[in-house]
């Protein structure tokens, strides 16, 4: 793990399938937490999807409604995760094991596995390995995704803050 400085901000990208539900929620929560703690100059935060179905779209309306209820804005416009992101980012956070595999499938030379982690590795109360896909379900699924991502983001940020150097 390298030192995190304002001159060389730590770059994270949250990745799901469509980049309209889970990863934009993780991105919005993480941006909010970083600002709340006054570390916005130390991080570059993005999200992407392994599929291109929704490229250019804002976050799903149920994801936005859930996040807004907790005072969090989701700024994302969907884009597809691409090979260059493996090089570009310090940490790539997969929402589920399919996303994880699809990300590593792009790593044809096997250089970047150390950068790719499952988001729920950072969940202090993991009841499963994946952040479940809420897309085809009701509001309760979006609420659950928000709560999982809220506590996982908190732990992730607390771990990263240890490496900040001013």
Adjacent-strand bridge partners of 92:
13, 116
Asked if residue 18 binds ligand 4NP (CB under 6 A), the reply is yes
Stretch that binds ligand 4NP, among 2-10, 12-20, 31-39, 81-89 (CB under 6 A): 12-20
Count residues contacting ligand 4NP (CB under 6 A)? 11
CB of 20 to ligand 4NP, least distance (A): 4
Helices first, then strands: H and E counts in the chain: 5, 4
CA distances from 135 to 16, 124, 138 (A): 11, 24, 8
Is residue 92 a contact partner of residue 124, using CB atoms and an 8 Å limit?
no
Residues contacting 27, CB < 8 A, separation 6+: 14, 45, 46, 47, 74, 75, 76
CB of 24 to ligand 4NP, least distance (A): 7
CB of 52 to ligand 4NP, least distance (A): 10
101 is an active site residue: no
Contact set with ligand 4NP (CB under 6 A): 16-22, 53-54, 133, 135
Annotated catalytic residues are: 16, 22, 133
């Amino acid at each position: 793990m390298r030192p995190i400085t304002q001159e060389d901000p730590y770059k994270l990208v949250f990745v799901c399938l469509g980049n309209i539900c889970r990863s934009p929620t993780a991105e919005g929560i993480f941006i909010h937490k970083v600002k709340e703690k006054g570390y916005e100059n130390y991080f570059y935060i993005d999200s992407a999807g392994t599929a291109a179905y929704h490229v250019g779209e804002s976050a799903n309306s149920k994801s936005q409604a859930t996040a807004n209820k907790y005072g969090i804005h989701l700024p994302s416009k969907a884009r597809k995760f691409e090979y260059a992101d493996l090089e570009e980012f310090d940490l790539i956070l997969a929402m589920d094991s399919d996303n994880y595999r699809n990300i590593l499938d792009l790593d044809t030379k096997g250089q970047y596995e150390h950068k790719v982690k499952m988001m729920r590795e950072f969940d202090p109360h993991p009841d499963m390995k994946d952040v479940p896909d809420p897309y085809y379900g009701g509001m309760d699924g979006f609420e659950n995704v928000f709560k999982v991502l809220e506590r996982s983001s908190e732990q992730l940020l607390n771990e990263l803050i240890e490496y900040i150097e001013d």
